[in-house]
């Protein structure tokens, strides 16, 4: 049981390049999330998927797109990377029960855009 996995762990992009961050969970959770973490800012929600087939914008969606490929997988795409997207990206999943919303996080992807 691997929990939440993310690939790649590290990536360096040039401005204008595109890439897709992959996330998968094996806990049969319905909800999945993408966050970014910047120094002094805390984690901020980019996009989320409450269940398979649905996606919604979070707090900072500009410059990103997502795909909920199936119940297990939720990918994040940067179409044209910008230096402001240099950050650590975390994927998370959860299965809310009776109002308890513990989220399980992947190990993160460290992205640098030059």
Four-CA torsion 89, 61, 42, 35, nearest 10 degrees: -30
Phi then psi dihedrals of residue 29, to 5 deg: -80, 145
Nearer to other proteins, 42 or 62 (CB): 42
Least Å distance, CB 54 to other proteins, is 9
Nearer to other proteins, 36 or 113 (CB): 36
Nearer to other proteins, 63 or 107 (CB): 107
The neighbour count for residue 31, using CB atoms within 10 Å, is: 19
Least Å distance, CB 66 to other proteins, is 13
Nearer to other proteins, 74 or 90 (CB): 90
CA distances from 10 to 1, 86, 89, 97, 111 (A): 23, 11, 10, 33, 6
Rg (CA), the chain: 13
Least Å distance, CB 88 to other proteins, is 8
Q: Which residues bind other proteins (CB under 8 A)?
A: 31, 33, 35, 40-45, 48, 50, 56, 58, 90, 94, 96, 99-103, 105-108
Least Å distance, CB 59 to other proteins, is 8
Nearest to 23 by CA among 12, 35, 38: 35
């Amino acid at each position: 049981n691997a929990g939440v996995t993310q690939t790649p762990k590290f990536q360096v992009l040039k401005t204008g390049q595109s890439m897709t961050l992959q996330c998968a969970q094996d806990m049969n959770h319905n909800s999945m999330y993408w966050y970014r973490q910047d120094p002094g800012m805390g984690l901020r929600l980019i996009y989320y998927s409450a269940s398979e087939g649905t996606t919604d914008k979070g707090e900072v969606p500009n410059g990103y797109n997502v795909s909920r490929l199936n119940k297990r997988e939720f990918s994040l795409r940067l179409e044209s990377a910008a230096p402001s997207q240099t950050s650590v990206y975390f994927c998370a999943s959860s299965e809310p029960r009776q109002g308890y919303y513990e989220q399980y996080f992947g190990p993160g992807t460290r992205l640098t855009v030059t």
